[in-house]
């Protein structure tokens, strides 16, 4: 009896694809790989006069977009799949950025304006005589890598444990995340915090011994970001396709039912929130050497809202959608702010309203519905003949 | 008792086995609960025997659903004792721990995971470790797949097994939720209005299913549909204003003057 039932189940497997878009892991990774190769060739091989030349500026810009894409992936994981609308992911991104920034500051050594071999410039400026305790170890790569993940992860763990255990959810949670990033911004603006105050950390010279000004380092950072994005995509794909992903989706749909089935939703939420925060931290760490500065402005709630819009435009509940959304909106921002900077926020707001009204599933939601249309016409043609 | 409160990793059957040497699986004793002065439960005493099928009836506001909320940990009573077997104090556990201990619940309004397929709904409900790391690296075993197949067959949703649960009809959702209960292999099933919104034929099948479950499981059914209660009940408890008014077989209940006055009387009159 069981075999016949299982056959039925297998037959029905085909119907599954009708209602759920499969996540195109190979396609996404493949496209990312090809883009990276093309950009590398365009940058290294073709001369500046050639039409195929990719300028160093473009390489850096693309590297920045890929950081945003990684960040969007992190936001999508908690919002699209678990229904946690975090308006504070900028905090995790910025913390990761600061961890990298501290390491880069220490690499400046005595090449700073004040030429102090031990202290970063801003500390000399504040008349500090020694490194604060939390800067200890910051000249080690291992310390930096740990902090990139531990800083955001720990904050997410503490925040998540408190919020999810007391069953805070929905709008209240969103407002709390917003308050969290705002509080951090105010704190980091203060000089006494020891993170460079409102100037932040900048004037970096080199990373792992490579000059940050050199085009080849920029290309290297771009490639590193692409690899990080690919790995993060695979990790997210694995999480989403595992039973964990289904539990998390179930939590989004009906948290109390999940509880009565025997799962502890708060554990799952904290876990996925921490993973997401770490991905955001990684994105921040890759972002800082490419833009050359990190300052408390990155904590601004506006940035966090922009991330949510990337995901909304690209399509939440779809990993590749988040990447598409981040890249498209960031590109639009680059173009738009060059033409009329003061109108960008209105455009962003308008975009959000339009997407919510017209494309609730985002750009990624368009593809399956187009496919469906083709399938339907094909069916009707078959039926006629 | 040795319930692992950390929750992960935790396998329910290893840690918590209710002690039913006295034949009773669920003890509800002197439970009081009031909402803003309204006494929802008033010195309520109820004992469910291991393996029995019990129906709870009562007018709206008699405290039936509140009682279920108390047993499953959704609401803490003001005073009283709720035990699972002799030794497990349910008031010390939260909803997920109570569920893992072996008390399953079907809600009045069918609650299934709408975006997940019928198959996945059952899969998530299967008895087993509900911890994070297990979920991350979990692979369905052949045995589990067969078990899901069996359940799908029992609840008649084999053809729909890869539909998103949100697409099912109301009656099918009710059945899916019962299937999710079965997958968890609970010792006690609390079933709140299982036949609401079902056709006559579906109701009949539900009655059959519930009676077949009794024995191996203890089943507590809350229902308004008196014909349905008559068709399945061996023992009925009547709730009135937060306490048990009468207990007995259906014919005893129908003959009970108190019950006639407050409940059946209204229905017949």
| Predicted local confidence at residue A7, as pLDDT | 53
Position with higher pLDDT, A369 vs A70: A70
Of the candidates A366, A305, A333, A281, the one whose C-alpha atom is nearest the C-alpha of residue A92 is: A281
Read off the pLDDT band of B155 (50, 70, 90): confident
The mean per-residue pLDDT over the stretch B106-119 comes to 90
By Cβ distance, the residue of B130, B135, B167 closest to A242 is B135
Q: Which chain A residues are closer than 8 Å to B114 by Cβ?
A: 253-254
Cβ contact B164–A19 (<8 Å):
yes
B 114-173 near A (Cβ less than 8 A): 114-117, 119-120, 123-125, 130-132, 134-138, 145-146, 149-150, 152-153, 158-159, 161-164, 167
| Predicted local confidence at residue A382, as pLDDT | 54
Average pLDDT of the residues of chain B: 84
Tell me the pLDDT tens digit for each residue of B177-195: 999 999 998 999 999 888 8
Q: Which two tokens stand for residue B202?
A: 């579906």
- Quick check: bond before A29 cis, omega within 30? no
With beta carbons less than 8 A apart as the criterion, state whether B78 and B243 touch: no
Q: Residue A211: helix, strand or coil by DSSP? A: strand
Min distance B128 CA to chain A CA atoms (Å): 9
| Predicted local confidence at residue B71, as pLDDT | 93
Of the candidates A112, A1, A23, A4, the one whose C-alpha atom is nearest the C-alpha of residue A73 is: A23
Which ipTM was obtained for this model? 0.84
Could you write out the DSSP letters of every residue in B59-92? -TTSSHHHHHHHHTTSS--SEEEEEETTTEEGGG
Min distance B160 CA to chain A CA atoms (Å): 8
Q: Which two tokens stand for residue A49?
A: 């006069």
Residue B11 has pLDDT above 70, yes or no: no
**pTM given for the model:** 0.88
Q: Which two tokens stand for residue A258?
A: 């999940």
With beta carbons less than 8 A apart as the criterion, state whether B229 and B55 touch: yes
B188 phi/psi in degrees, rounded to 5:
-125, 130
Read off the pLDDT band of A62 (50, 70, 90): very high
Residue A379 has pLDDT above 80, yes or no: no
| Predicted local confidence at residue B216, as pLDDT | 85
Count of C-beta atoms within a 10 Å radius of residue A379:
10
Cβ contact A250–B113 (<8 Å):
yes
> Which is it for strands A293-294 and B24-35: parallel, antiparallel or unpaired?
unpaired
E-strand ranges in chain B read 24-35, 38-49, 53-57, 79-84, 88-89, 103-106, 188-192, 218-222, 235-240, 243-248
| Predicted local confidence at residue A233, as pLDDT | 95
The mean per-residue pLDDT over the stretch B30-54 comes to 89
Tell me the pLDDT tens digit for each residue of A210-266: 988 888 999 999 999 999 999 999 999 999 999 999 999 999 989 989 999 999 999
Q: Residue A218: helix, strand or coil by DSSP? A: helix
By Cβ distance, the residue of B95, B134, B146 closest to A260 is B95
Q: Which of A80, A261, A272, A365 to mutate to test the interface with B (most CBs of B within 10 A)?
A: A261
Close Cβ partners of A14 (under 8 Å, ≥ 6 residues apart): none
Residue A18 has pLDDT above 60, yes or no: no
* Cα–Cα separations (whole angstroms), residue A29 to A228, A234, A275: 11, 8, 20
Tell me the pLDDT tens digit for each residue of A307-354: 999 999 998 888 999 999 999 999 999 999 998 888 898 999 998 899
Nearest residue on chain B to A269, alpha-carbon basis: B132
By Cβ distance, the residue of B114, B124, B132 closest to A261 is B124
By Cβ distance, the residue of A249, A263, A264 closest to B116 is A249
| Predicted local confidence at residue A304, as pLDDT | 94
Decide if A242 touches B, using CB distance below 8 A: yes
The mean per-residue pLDDT over the stretch B71-80 comes to 91
Read off the pLDDT band of B232 (50, 70, 90): confident
Residue B43: exposed, middle, or buried by beta-carbon count in 10 A (0-12, 13-18, 19+)? middle
> How far is A333 from A93, CA to CA, in rounded Å?
19
| Predicted local confidence at residue A63, as pLDDT | 95
Cβ contact A242–B138 (<8 Å):
yes
Fold of the domain spanning B16-268 = Rossmann fold (3.40.50)
Decide if B255 touches A, using CB distance below 8 A: no
| Predicted local confidence at residue B250, as pLDDT | 85
Residue A19 has pLDDT above 60, yes or no: no
With beta carbons less than 8 A apart as the criterion, state whether A148 and A92 touch: no
Q: How far is CA B184 from the centre of its chain?
A: 12
Least confidently predicted of A19-33, A303-317, B190-204: A19-33
Read off the pLDDT band of B242 (50, 70, 90): confident
Cβ contact A256–B111 (<8 Å):
yes
Of the candidates A265, A245, A261, the one whose C-alpha atom is nearest the C-alpha of residue B12 is: A261
Q: Residue B115: helix, strand or coil by DSSP? A: coil
Position with higher pLDDT, A6 vs B175: B175
Nearest residue on chain B to A265, alpha-carbon basis: B96
Min distance B268 CA to chain A CA atoms (Å): 37
Read off the pLDDT band of A83 (50, 70, 90): very high
Min distance A374 CA to chain B CA atoms (Å): 21
Q: Return the percent helix, strand and coil in chain A, to nearest 5.
A: 75, 0, 20
Q: Which two tokens stand for residue A81?
A: 């799949």
Q: Which of A17, A242, A262, A317 to mutate to test the interface with B (most CBs of B within 10 A)?
A: A262
């Amino acid at each position: 009896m069981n075999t016949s039932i299982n056959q039925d189940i297998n037959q029905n497997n085909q119907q599954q694809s009708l209602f759920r878009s499969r996540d195109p892991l190979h396609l996404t990774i493949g496209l990312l790989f090809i883009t990276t190769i093309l950009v590398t060739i365009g940058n290294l091989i073709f001369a500046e006069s050639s039409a195929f030349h990719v300028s160093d500026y473009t390489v850096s810009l693309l590297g920045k977009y890929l950081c945003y894409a990684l960040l969007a992936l992190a936001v999508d994981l908690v919002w699209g799949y678990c229904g946690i609308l975090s308006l504070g992911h900028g905090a995790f991104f910025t913390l990761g950025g600061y961890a990298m920034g501290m390491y880069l500051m220490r690499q400046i050594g005595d090449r700073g304006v004040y030429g102090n071999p031990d202290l970063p410039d801003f500390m000399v400026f504040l008349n500090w005589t020694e490194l604060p305790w939390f800067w200890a170890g910051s000249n080690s790569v291992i310390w930096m890598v740990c902090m990139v993940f531990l800083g955001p992860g720990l904050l997410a763990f503490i925040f998540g444990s408190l919020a999810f255990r007391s069953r805070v959810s929905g709008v209240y949670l969103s407002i709390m995340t917003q308050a969290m990033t705002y509080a951090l911004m105010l704190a980091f603006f203060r000089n006494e915090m020891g993170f460079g105050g409102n100037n932040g950390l900048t004037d970096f010279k080199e990373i792992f011994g490579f000059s940050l000004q050199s085009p080849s380092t920029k290309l290297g950072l771009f490639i590193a970001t692409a690899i990080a994005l690919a790995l993060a995509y695979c990790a997210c794909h694995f999480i989403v396709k595992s039973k964990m992903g289904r539990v998390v989706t179930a939590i989004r749909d009906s948290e109390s039912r999940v509880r009565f089935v025997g799962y502890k939703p708060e554990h799952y939420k904290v876990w996925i929130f921490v993973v997401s925060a770490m991905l955001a931290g990684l994105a921040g760490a890759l972002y800082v050497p490419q833009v050359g500065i990190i300052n408390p402005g990155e904590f601004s709630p506006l940035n966090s809202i922009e991330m949510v819009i990337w995901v909304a435009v690209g399509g939440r509940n779809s990993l590749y959608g988040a990447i598409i959304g981040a890249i498209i909106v960031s590109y639009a921002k680059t173009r738009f702010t060059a033409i009329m900077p003061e109108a960008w926020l209105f455009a962003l707001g308008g975009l959000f309203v339009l997407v919510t009204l017209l494309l609730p599933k985002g750009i990624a939601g368009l593809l399956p519905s187009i496919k469906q249309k083709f399938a339907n016409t094909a069916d009707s043609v078959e039926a006629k003949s | 008792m040795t319930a692992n409160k950390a929750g992960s990793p935790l396998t329910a059957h290893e840690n918590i086995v209710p002690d039913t040497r006295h034949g009773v699986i669920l003890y509800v004793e002197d439970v009081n609960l009031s909402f803003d002065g309204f006494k929802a439960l008033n010195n309520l005493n109820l004992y469910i025997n291991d393996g029995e099928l019990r129906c709870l009836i009562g007018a709206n506001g008699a405290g039936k659903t509140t009682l279920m909320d108390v047993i499953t940990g959704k609401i803490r009573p003001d005073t009283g004792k709720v035990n699972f077997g002799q030794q497990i104090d349910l008031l010390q556990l939260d909803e997920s721990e109570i569920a893992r201990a072996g008390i399953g619940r079907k809600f009045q309004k069918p609650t299934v995971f709408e975006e997940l397929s019928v198959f996945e709904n059952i899969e998530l409900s299967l008895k087993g470790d509900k911890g994070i790391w297990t979920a991350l690296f979990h692979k369905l075993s052949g045995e589990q797949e067969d078990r899901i197949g069996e359940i799908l067959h029992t609840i008649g949703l084999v053809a729909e097994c890869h539909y998103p649960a949100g697409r099912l009809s109301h009656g099918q959702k009710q059945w899916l939720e019962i299937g999710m209960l079965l997958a968890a292999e609970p010792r006690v099933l609390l079933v709140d209005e299982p036949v609401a919104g079902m056709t006559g034929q579906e109701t009949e099948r539900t009655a059959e299913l519930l009676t077949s479950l009794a024995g191996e499981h203890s089943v507590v059914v809350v229902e308004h549909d008196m014909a349905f209660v008559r068709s399945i009940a061996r023992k009925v408890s009547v709730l009135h204003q937060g306490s048990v008014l009468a207990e007995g077989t259906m014919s005893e209940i129908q003959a009970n003057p108190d019950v006639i006055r407050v409940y059946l009387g209204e229905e017949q009159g």
